[in-house]
Amino acid sequence: MQDFRALSCSLGSGILSATCMEDRIATLIAESRPGWTLARPFFSDEAIYARDLDRVWRTGWLFAGHSCEIPKTGDYFSVGVDTDSILVVRGEGGALHAFHNVCRHRGSLICEAPAGHVTRLVCPYHQWTYGLSGDLISCRGMPDSLDKSQFGLQPVALEEVEGLIFISLAAIPPPFQPAREALSPLLQPQGLRRARVAKAVDYVVKANWKLVWENNRECYHCNVNHPQYIKANFDHYNVDDTSPAIRERMELAAAQVEAKWSQRGSGAAQAGAPTTHKLTGMTSFPDAARNIWFSANRTPLVEGYVSESMDGQQVAPLMGDYDDASVGTLRMRALPNCWNHASCDHAVSTRLLPLGPQLTGIRVWWLVDEAAVEGRDYELAKLMPFWQLTSEQDWEICERQQRGVNSTAYRPGPYSTDKEYNVESFVRWYLQVIQKPHALER
Amino acid sequence: MQDFRALSCSLGSGILSATCMEDRIATLIAESRPGWTLARPFFSDEAIYARDLDRVWRTGWLFAGHSCEIPKTGDYFSVGVDTDSILVVRGEGGALHAFHNVCRHRGSLICEAPAGHVTRLVCPYHQWTYGLSGDLISCRGMPDSLDKSQFGLQPVALEEVEGLIFISLAAIPPPFQPAREALSPLLQPQGLRRARVAKAVDYVVKANWKLVWENNRECYHCNVNHPQYIKANFDHYNVDDTSPAIRERMELAAAQVEAKWSQRGSGAAQAGAPTTHKLTGMTSFPDAARNIWFSANRTPLVEGYVSESMDGQQVAPLMGDYDDASVGTLRMRALPNCWNHASCDHAVSTRLLPLGPQLTGIRVWWLVDEAAVEGRDYELAKLMPFWQLTSEQDWEICERQQRGVNSTAYRPGPYSTDKEYNVESFVRWYLQVIQKPHALER
Amino acid sequence: MQDFRALSCSLGSGILSATCMEDRIATLIAESRPGWTLARPFFSDEAIYARDLDRVWRTGWLFAGHSCEIPKTGDYFSVGVDTDSILVVRGEGGALHAFHNVCRHRGSLICEAPAGHVTRLVCPYHQWTYGLSGDLISCRGMPDSLDKSQFGLQPVALEEVEGLIFISLAAIPPPFQPAREALSPLLQPQGLRRARVAKAVDYVVKANWKLVWENNRECYHCNVNHPQYIKANFDHYNVDDTSPAIRERMELAAAQVEAKWSQRGSGAAQAGAPTTHKLTGMTSFPDAARNIWFSANRTPLVEGYVSESMDGQQVAPLMGDYDDASVGTLRMRALPNCWNHASCDHAVSTRLLPLGPQLTGIRVWWLVDEAAVEGRDYELAKLMPFWQLTSEQDWEICERQQRGVNSTAYRPGPYSTDKEYNVESFVRWYLQVIQKPHALER
């Protein structure tokens, strides 16, 4: 314990040589006790944060935003990953492109607004002009000998699946195909490509991004902290506290939804999609052993609820392929930075971005069908509270945990095997990822 | 001088290896010139601040607060020492306990409010529940095999002397008994256990904690900076500027108080307690050679003053065992973080807590007799100004000194032997303490 | 490229040993590609910033302010260079003095106000009292044996040229005489010594000081970013885009001004001084090879403009020795921290001061003739907009560039040889200066 303390202190004061630092991080990883929480430096230390940026945030696939946010050629939005700024642009012919928002001349940011519409990307400093796919078109004032083909905006890998846009800052990103195959069939009926953003709210949460994920990966905290959420969902019940009566309710809820679909033929059934998670507790995710960083599943809501809203009633017109409200809830999550909760009538996306060792930028979007009109078809006052309250309850929890974890007296504690199995999986996934050599070095 | 500058710069930029850093701190200590102010890094450097935390703040005894603030079982307040949060709780049977405010499960802060009342300490995250003495009582959702006795809140050493609560974060704290023996007889008649907090004010002062102490350890600055304070007190006079006329006034003031007590028999005399400091200047403190980090003494106020108030008149009912207002002023101080000035009718406590190399959190409390009622027995407008003005004058001085000391042109200067003897003692005490191996390593 | 990235990261996280850091800076310098922008760490890294402070800011000559700001004995202003505070004082007999604003006793700042008037410099802490030339006059409370001559305020080198005050923090400053010889004849007719400050505005710009200079050293960005500036000036035209028609306009403008002077005899001609820059583009500056860090030149304004004002008309009475408005524009600049644009009727000075790796304090002064009276002779609403708009346009550019340069995707880009020759010279000058051993070590 004393040894650990010294280690933690040294990391905290940031006065070690680079080699020494690598050794210490390796020691910290090696000393992590399976089934227990991570040590203090993982949540507060600059060097660990730098490692997280390298191995997690600048290697993996990051959820950037929704394709429906940039429907027209020339529409763009920007995404910030620590000090990096990335542009996601709708190009000619509707193709999506991503590149670094950094002029190849003097390095100025090109687009300052977080979103907008352009015909060309013109650097405001000296008007170097790039096409919508990032190629340098003109650079008045430079010698004719300059080979423009060498000065396009630096490309960023981009993939889109059913309206969700993912980017990777890695030179050689991990394969995206497994994620597409797993997510596409489940996401498809929700129709996120044909959605519109009803509202987005930005938060700056004073907690390390991993604390936010650990909070997301268990519902052990739900009973007391999420009075709204637990009224609509079953997943706060786990193997140790699911009574036969509750088990019966869950089976009934699942059966009712399925029965409805089968009555209405295969088209509707496909739109509803099967209820893939019928067990107590949260669906297992992630899977460190198989490096599964993405997943989606459908699960029933409680009796009488057709939407994750305050009273369980529909708060917007049906979305996507749905022709009946009884579709339960569709969930999707992808490490390291997003999750999505969708009902028959709306979807809520959450995106994390790293701002510092103890600071995470979080955006929450509420999406409805593209044809829905505010005031006529939905009201924000009914659409938003369920997930706004639940989200803000979680951010408060995370900030309080960060403050406790910052104490020199904090020591790793044990996870509940019944209730925190997914947190333990997350930690294992994380430790595995930060030990892998950087994508650039492969 | 050039060598020193280089040293200072290197410390400032925080780019040295851990071993190298230890060597540099050792060099800085070795180069400290007796009787002169400390070098710049002692007031601004992160590495020195980390050393101060280790050897001073997480080793010695810290004033936490008053026992009268938590009179009932279940009352608590929290204290922050840099990133640590400590709970001080009134337990069953009236015993006081202190422990780290950090859940043993996932490390969340348990009590977020700075003070309150609880029947159990329940972590807001997953409701792990601890008793008032810190033992883990329940942890719903964890396996039955979990040995609760291993997961109590981490204890913090606590001592109480005449209503003042001290804590130590050290695994093996220094002995408290010498402090108790020295302080108890002098503090006892003031009755701080039977007091109530009339008001507490929190300050965040942009100065290293040692500058605040150095300011406290001399009255060389009083004449110009403290017009209120010098009207009530004699201790801004030193051997070099105490005229025979002033000497005569001092002796008279002391004699009058003592005469009064002797008239009224031993009980009152004991309540008043002897005037232990009759010399010019401030009482000598600390004593580095004998490691005396605590002291108390009584000294006369000027003629016509019975209280440290703006006009010298009583501003609240008599406190403690006093049955006469002529008790002069009782002073107590303990390194590294408190001092107390008490009159017959009220007491003012000051507590320092480290927030950063150039940031100190300071709380000032005004205490009156527990039976006193605001509006009827005292008014804040009369109770507070004397020490509020004097304190805020000092914080302004300290912040201005910090800004000067931050200059690369700052060089240690000489202390006045007549007027800054206690500052010099403080510096010697400090240098001695930070050279001692950490308590945990003993 | 990979190697560079690793280097940049390591510098960024500040965890290298001092020796290692020196090596890395040397490597960064060695790898700088002539004619291309500097690498990312030069604009964001703490270690580079520390190097800049040492070799540039605490070695060279810094513009401090105007002699007309402190006309009377006892007038002073202070200047902050990172954490240093320097006082510039008008002493007895009108002489100017500069010293560190740090008491030799306990290091307190002496003058807290940014400017004022004093008869003596009295430290507010213990009233150590210094004369206007920095000598310690009294220190009540210190032993008589204290040798006051050893405790004067630490002097700072000061030079004044035609009303512009320069200071150097170096123990042995570089020679100032070459600057005086070059600047004095050109500045003299402007009469800055007989001016008054009509207004000064302070900015805190979130950009490294070098980005601000690079912006200043080219007019490639002017066409789009400075609609006001380009209406008055020719220097946004360069060899690659100056048409014969424009060339003709320039020659005509210069000829007209000169013709006017010659008609009115040598006095007026001298007042107007020769038009030293008649070429397209900006005058060449700095000259790294010959270490020329200062320069001044006169250049014509466009037809119909006699002042850098919104409509080109005079906005204040003629200044200095001018008896005719047709004097074009007088420009002066000195590395690392000032430039000056003067018309016949007013002058605008800009001063940079380093506040951090990505933070620069900038003050812009508007000066008019000392006899001019606001409301009667000039209005701020007409005097200020031209340079206020142009300046603020530039600060916005610099902040946007800083944000782009902070991206890990930023890579050095090529300068335009036609339009950014002075930026390239600035970079060469800078790299040369930071490689020179520190002045103190010479």
Q: What is the pLDDT at residue A47?
A: 93
Q: What is the pLDDT at residue A101?
A: 98
Q: What is the pLDDT at residue C438?
A: 53
Q: How far is CA B255 from the centre of its chain?
A: 30
Q: What is the pLDDT at residue A117?
A: 98
Q: What is the pLDDT at residue C134?
A: 98
Cα of first residue to Cα of last residue in chain A, in angstroms, is 36
| Residue C266 sits at the chain A interface (C-beta within 8 Å) | no
| Residue B121 sits at the chain A interface (C-beta within 8 Å) | no
DSSP state of C407: S
- Mean pLDDT of all residues in C362-384: 98
Which residues 42-101 of A are in CB contact (within 8 Å) with B?
none
Task: List the one residue out of B385, B368, B366 whose CA is nearest residue B377.
Answer: B368
Q: What is the pLDDT at residue A261?
A: 73
In this structure, the number of other CB atoms found within 10 A of the CB of residue B3 comes to 9
Q: Please tell me which residue of chain C has the smallest CA distance to A22.
A: C15
Rounded to whole angstroms, how far apart are CA atoms A9 and C145? 46
pLDDT at C110 over 90: yes
Size of interface B-C (CB pairs under 8 A): 102
Q: What is the pLDDT at residue C258?
A: 82
Task: List the one residue out of A245, A254, A84, A236 whose CA is nearest residue A170.
Answer: A84
Inter-residue contact C43 to C210 (CB < 8 Å): yes
- Pairing verdict, β A195-205 and A359-369: antiparallel
Stated pTM of the model: 0.94
For residue C33, the number of C-alpha atoms closer than 13 Å in the C-beta half-sphere is 10
Residue A436: pLDDT band (50, 70, 90) is confident
Residue C257: pLDDT band (50, 70, 90) is confident
Q: What is the pLDDT at residue B256?
A: 86
Task: List the one residue out of B292, B323, B229 whose CA is nearest residue B432.
Answer: B292
Say yes or no for a CB contact (<8 Å) between A107 and C221: no
Say yes or no for a CB contact (<8 Å) between A146 and C408: no
pLDDT, greater one: C77 or B241:
C77
Stretch among A35-44, A58-67, A243-252, B167-176 having the lowest mean pLDDT: A243-252
Q: Please tell me which residue of chain B has the smallest CA distance to A211.
A: B106
| Residue C206 sits at the chain A interface (C-beta within 8 Å) | no
Residue B31: which residues within 8 A CB-CB, separation 6 or more? B4, B39
pLDDT at A6 over 80: no
Q: What is the pLDDT at residue C73?
A: 98
Tokens 């209406």 correspond to: C231
Residue B422: which residues within 8 A CB-CB, separation 6 or more? B217, B218, B282, B284, B285, B286
Instruction: Give the 3-state DSSP-derived string for chain B, with helices as H, strands as E and coil as C.
Output: CHHHHHHHHHHHHCCCCHHHHHHHHHHHHHHCCCCECCCCHHHHCHHHHHHHHHHHHCCCCEEEEEHHHCCCCCEEEEEEECCEEEEEEECHHHCEEEEECECCCCCCECCCCCEEECCCEECCCCCCEECCCCCEEECCCCCCCCCHHHCCCCECEEEEECCEEEEECCCCCCCCHHHHHHHHHHHHHHCHHHEEEEEEEEEEECCCHHHHHHHHCCCCCHHHHCHHHHHHCCCCCCCCCCCHHHHHHHHHHHHHHHHHHHHCHHHHHHHHCCCCCCCCCCCCCCECCCCECEEEEEECCCCCCCCCCCCCCCCCCCCCCCCCCCCCEEEEEECCCEEEEECCCCEEEEEEEEEECCEEEEEEEEEEECCCCECCCECHHHHCHHHHHHHHHHHHHHHHHHHHHCCCCCCCCECCCCCCHHHHHHHHHHHHHHHCCCHHHC
Residue B267: pLDDT band (50, 70, 90) is low
Q: Please tell me which residue of chain B has the smallest CA distance to C143.
A: B416
For residue C161, the number of C-alpha atoms closer than 13 Å in the C-beta half-sphere is 23
Rounded to whole angstroms, how far apart are CA atoms B427 and B439? 20
Average pLDDT, chain C: 92
DSSP characters over C304-321: T-SSSSSSSS--SPPPTT
Interface with A, mutate which of B83, B128, B129 (most A CBs under 10 A):
B83
Per the document, the length of chain B is 442
pLDDT at B266 over 90: no
- In DSSP terms, A347 is beta-bridged to A342, A367
Task: List the one residue out of B348, B50, B291, B336 whose CA is nearest residue B168.
Answer: B336
Q: What is the pLDDT at residue C4?
A: 34
Query: What percent of chain B lies above the pLDDT cut of 90?
Result: 85
Q: What is the pLDDT at residue A264?
A: 64
pLDDT at A295 over 80: yes
Task: List the one residue out of B361, B329, B335 whose CA is nearest residue B348.
Answer: B329
- List CB contacts (< 8 A) between B241 and chain C: 141
Which secondary structure element, helix H or strand E, spans residue C79, and what is its range? strand C75-81
Inter-residue contact C162 to C190 (CB < 8 Å): yes
Which residue type occupies A49? Y
Q: What does the pLDDT look like over B315-330, one tens digit per residue?
A: 999 999 999 999 999 9
Rounded to whole angstroms, how far apart are CA atoms B84 and B207? 20
Q: Both tokens of residue A4?
A: 């650990």
Minimal CA separation from C279 to chain A, in Å: 18
Q: ipTM of the predicted structure?
A: 0.94
pLDDT at A12 over 90: no
Q: How far is CA C426 from the centre of its chain?
A: 14
Per the document, the length of chain C is 442
Which chains neighbour B (Cβ–Cβ under 8 Å, 3 or more pairs)?
Answer: A, C
Q: Please tell me which residue of chain C has the smallest CA distance to A102.
A: C404
Buried b (16+ CB within 10 A) or exposed e, B22-49: eebbeebbeebeebebbbbbbbbbbbbb
- Mean pLDDT of all residues in B107-111: 98
Say yes or no for a CB contact (<8 Å) between A224 and B127: yes
Q: What does the pLDDT look like over A92-134, one tens digit per residue?
A: 999 999 999 999 999 999 999 999 999 999 999 999 999 999 9
Tokens 């008007």 correspond to: A127
Stretch among B194-198, B261-265, B318-322 having the lowest mean pLDDT: B261-265
pLDDT at C10 over 60: no
Inter-residue contact A334 to A167 (CB < 8 Å): no
| Residue A405 sits at the chain B interface (C-beta within 8 Å) | yes
For residue A389, the number of C-alpha atoms closer than 13 Å in the C-beta half-sphere is 15
Interface with C, mutate which of A10, A83, A128 (most C CBs under 10 A):
A83
Rounded to whole angstroms, how far apart are CA atoms A418 and B140? 11
Minimal CA separation from C340 to chain B, in Å: 29
Average pLDDT, chain A: 92
Task: List the one residue out of B163, B154, B175 whose CA is nearest residue B60.
Answer: B175
Inter-residue contact B268 to B324 (CB < 8 Å): yes
pLDDT at C276 over 90: no
Query: What percent of chain A lies above the pLDDT cut of 90?
Result: 85
Per the document, the length of chain A is 442
- Pairing verdict, β A195-205 and A75-81: unpaired
Rounded to whole angstroms, how far apart are CA atoms A225 and B125? 8
Q: What does the pLDDT look like over B202-231, one tens digit per residue?
A: 999 999 999 999 999 999 999 999 999 999
Say yes or no for a CB contact (<8 Å) between A225 and B124: yes
pLDDT at C13 over 60: no
Phi (first) and psi of residue B196, to 5 degrees: -135, 150
Q: B266: burial class by Cβ within 10 Å (0-12, 13-18, 19+)?
A: exposed
pLDDT at A73 over 70: yes
Phi (first) and psi of residue B28, to 5 degrees: -60, -45
In this structure, the number of other CB atoms found within 10 A of the CB of residue B170 comes to 18
Query: What percent of chain C lies above the pLDDT cut of 70?
Result: 92
Rounded to whole angstroms, how far apart are CA atoms B274 and B254? 10
pLDDT at C96 over 90: yes
Rounded to whole angstroms, how far apart are CA atoms C57 and B269? 66
Integer angstrom CA distances of residue A232 from A275, A308, A338, C243: 16, 6, 21, 73
Q: Please tell me which residue of chain C has the smallest CA distance to B11.
A: C18
Q: What is the pLDDT at residue B17?
A: 52
- Pairing verdict, β A115-117 and A75-81: antiparallel
DSSP characters over A409-421: T----BPPTTT-H
Q: What is the pLDDT at residue A271?
A: 67
- List CB contacts (< 8 A) between C417 and chain A: 143
| Residue B419 sits at the chain C interface (C-beta within 8 Å) | yes
| Residue B440 sits at the chain A interface (C-beta within 8 Å) | yes
DSSP state of A280: S
| Residue B228 sits at the chain A interface (C-beta within 8 Å) | no
Inter-residue contact B318 to B345 (CB < 8 Å): yes
Say yes or no for a CB contact (<8 Å) between A124 and C408: no
Q: Both tokens of residue C72?
A: 């009377």
